[in-house]
Amino acid sequence: MPIATPQQYRDMLNAAQKGNYALPAINVSSMVTANAALKGFADAKSDGIIQVSTGGGKFASGINVGSMALGAISIAEHIHRMAEHYDVLIALHTDHCQPNVVDSFMIPLIEESEKRVAEGKLPLFNSHMLDASGLPLKDNLDLSVPLYERLAKIGMMLEIEAGVVGGEEDGAAGSEDTPAEKLYTTPEDMVEVFRRMKDVDGTYMFAATFGNVHGAYKPGAVKLKPQILKDGQDAIKKEFGPDAHFHLVFHGGSGSEKHEIKETLNYGVIKMNVDTDTQYAFTRPVVDHMMKNYDGVLKIDGEVGNKKNYDPRAYLKAAETGMAARVIEACNDLESSGKSLTAGAVTA
C-alpha cells in the first residue's frame, strides 16, 4: 500500500504507545537497502519507519553529485513506488540533521513536501529529525519550534533530541569522550521541551538520552538508565496533567540487552533506530559470498573468473536477504511483529 498518510502515521505511533511496543526505524542508503527494509517489515507483518541520514543521502546521490538532499529525495521516491507493493504501513523519516546542514538538507526536503502537498499529494517524507542536541537547550528549542510549526502545517512531524547520544555514527552528535552527564536528559529538560513544543498543533517525537551510545558494542557494554525516561514522563504529567506524554525515540540501541529494550517500551519509547546491526547483516553475506567464490569473483592468473559469481546481483540479493532478516529480528525485539494497522487503523 502507499506510504502512510499523516493520520496513519499518527495512528502508528499512538498504537505503539498504547500497546507498549515500538516501531523499528531502519537507516538506508541505497535502493537495495531500502528494498531489504521493506521486505523485513512485510515479512514480520509490522509497520515501520525507513529513514535516511545526511550521509546516507550523500552516498545515494553518487560520488560525482554528492548531494545529501538529492540522494534522500531519490531514495524516498523509490520507496514511495515500492511501498505500493507491500501490505504494511511505511513512514519515511530523515535522521540526525544537525543545525549546520538544515539549510542544505532539511529545508530542500521540506520544500519538496510542501510542493507535493500543494498538488494534492502526500508529503515526500512523513517526518524529519533535527539533532540540535549539541546546542544549549534554549537554542535547540528556538531552532526546533519554528521548524515544527512549518512541518505541522502540511501534516508532517518533527523529531528532536535533548542530551547527547554518545559515540559517533554518520556524523551524529557525540564522541567517544562525551562527558557522562551529557548522556542523560534531566526531568527538568524534559519539562522544558514539553512546555515549548505543546502549543503547536501537531505531533512530534522526542529523543531523550539515557546513556545510549551510537556504534557497535558487545552486549552489556552500554550502560543504560531507562528509569530516566520514566522520571521524565512522570515529571511532565505532574506539571501539565495526566494526559501529557512523550512519543520517545531510542537512539544507539546496538549492544543493548533485550530486557533493557523491553523496559523502555513501558516508558513510552515508540521508535528505535537500527543502523549498525543492519549494516553488518547486509555486509556479512557479501563477505561469505566472496570467500566461498574467491576464484570466481577474481580473474586469477589469466583466467576469466565466473560471471555468475562476480555479477553484483549475486551477492546483493544475499545482502538484501540478510538485512531483511535483521529487520525481522528488530520487529520481534520491539514487539511490533504481527501488529500492522493495515487491517484497520486505530486512533488514540
Catalytically active residues are 95
* C-beta neighbour count of 69 within 10 angstroms: 22
What is the spatial distance between Cα 9 and Cα 126, in angstroms, rounded to a whole number?
A: 8
What is the spatial distance between Cα 255 and Cα 276, in angstroms, rounded to a whole number?
A: 10
- Which cell goes with 212? 545510549
Return the percent helix, strand and coil in the chain, to nearest 5. 50, 15, 35
Burial of 58 by CB count in 10 Å (0-12 exposed, 13-18 middle, 19+ buried)?
Answer: buried
* C-beta neighbour count of 36 within 10 angstroms: 27
DSSP 8-state assignment for residue 167: S
Question: Which backbone phi and psi does 205 adopt, to 5 degrees?
Answer: -120, 150
What is the spatial distance between Cα 261 and Cα 253, in angstroms, rounded to a whole number?
A: 8
Question: Where do the DSSP E strands lie in the chain?
Answer: 23-27, 48-53, 90-97, 127-130, 157-162, 204-208, 248-250, 269-274
